[in-house]
Amino acid sequence: MDNIKEQTLKAADAFALKGQIKSCRSYGSGHINHTFLLICEENGQEYFYILQQINHIVFKDIEGLMKNIKRVTSFLRNKIIENHGNPDRETLNLIPTKNGENYYQDSQGYFWRVYLFISHAICYNKVEKPEDFYQVGKAFGEFQCLLADFPTDELVETIPHFHNTPARFVTFQNVIEKDIIGRANEVQEEIRFIREREKEMSLALSLQKQGKLPLRVSHNDTKLNNIMIDDITGQALCIIDLDTIMPGFSIFDYGDSIRFGANTAAEDEKDLSKVSLSLSLFEIYTKGFLEGSQGSLKEIEIKLFPYGAKMMALECGMRFLTDYLEGDIYFHISRGEHNLDRCRTQLALVADMERKWTDMETIIQKYRN
């Protein structure tokens, strides 16, 4: 516990935990929040929690964000109980502070929350068994159905225009223009690649404006390490990282999972020859997502699955490059060119998707009926 700051322990102490804090260490591989595994002990019994310092630079309205999470998890909890599931494991459970609040703000202005730790389950950074990816697809498909009757107007937009790719492009252009730390010159090839695809970026929003593409309650950050797989049953147990739950498009929930999980390389792989779209993983996820969504998706949404996958990779690549050009102020990094490496894998994946477009469409055709 030596290298965990006093500030972290003080924050942990603000919550109504069982027992005494025994250990606290950094945990997980998220890019946004600071996450800790907290172990407490009482009468020889251990209690596990997840403590998080919420990134308030990224999320400007923490109160609104925490209200979203409370509302959505309470809603899911009721559904899980109705279905005779285990509400302590199948959704996130917030632990209140000693004052009964959902989060705690410390004297330096940092925001903290605590969840029950979901034990005997794992978050993968890479698909190890294709069956797991099928389970992930099924769970994210079901998630949309479960939330289909959630009152959308109760949700705060925690990051406005989160998957508004054209708006992200405008920011990207402005950042290149300013080039505050002089990195733009070395990334001309990546800039050109993204600019060449600008026209494609507005399709989803324009279809929505025409009333053809529905806005749904979506997760918006459906990468593999935001879902827990049960150690014993091998089934997807719990969808986590609910910070970006807000109205969005099903094709982007589908697509973001493909972007991360169907890539044959890690998101930050330096050797781009390892990056490709695995069509077999693409297929198994598609099967799972469509089964999970139980016929609730419109024809146009299914047809746009390849587009959703490509846009999520392109947008994410553009966001990593934007952050690289701004001096790495958004995503956590652990090496100098981390964001640039991440950008390059995403763009290589986009290029591979373009090569495999017909194959993707054929696979979707196979499962759409």
Q: Which does 301 bind (CB under 5 to 8 A by kind): Mg ion, ligand GN1, ligand ADP, none?
A: none
Out of 50, 72, 80, 204, name the contact with ligand ADP by CB under 6 A: 50
Out of 32, 136, 245, 321, name the contact with ligand ADP by CB under 6 A: 32
- The distance of closest approach from Cβ of residue 34 to ligand ADP in the complex, given in angstroms and rounded to an integer, is 8
Asked if 8 is part of the footprint of ligand ADP (rule: CB under 6 A), the reply reads no
SS3 243: helix
Asked if 33 is part of the footprint of ligand ADP (rule: CB under 6 A), the reply reads yes
First to last CA, the chain: 55
User: What's the CA gap between 170 and 160, in Å, rounded?
Assistant: 14
**CA nearest 281: which of 260, 302, 297?**
260
Region 17-46 residues binding ligand GN1, contact defined as CB under 6 A: 30-32
Out of 241, 253, 267, 301, name the contact with ligand ADP by CB under 6 A: 241
276: phi > 0 → left, psi -120 to 50 → alpha, else beta; which? beta
Using the contact rule CB under 6 A, the part of the chain among 16-24, 159-167, 237-245, 357-365 near ligand ADP is 237-245
- The distance of closest approach from Cβ of residue 33 to ligand GN1 in the complex, given in angstroms and rounded to an integer, is 7
Q: Which residue has the tokens 């999520």?
A: 312
Looking at beta carbons only, is 123 or 284 nearer to ligand ADP? 123
Region 260-319 residues binding ligand GN1, contact defined as CB under 6 A: 267, 316
Q: 71 is written with which tokens?
A: 């509302």
Rg of the chain on CA atoms, in Å: 21
**Quick one: DSSP state of residue 180?**
T
Strand ranges, E, within the chain: 20-26, 34-42, 45-54, 94-95, 104-105, 111-116, 121-122, 216-218, 227-230, 236-239, 246-248
Q: Which residues bind ligand GN1 (CB under 6 A)?
A: 30-32, 58, 221, 223, 226, 241, 243-244, 267, 316
Q: Which residues bind ligand ADP (CB under 6 A)?
A: 27-28, 30-33, 35, 50, 92, 115, 117-118, 123, 225-226, 240-241, 243
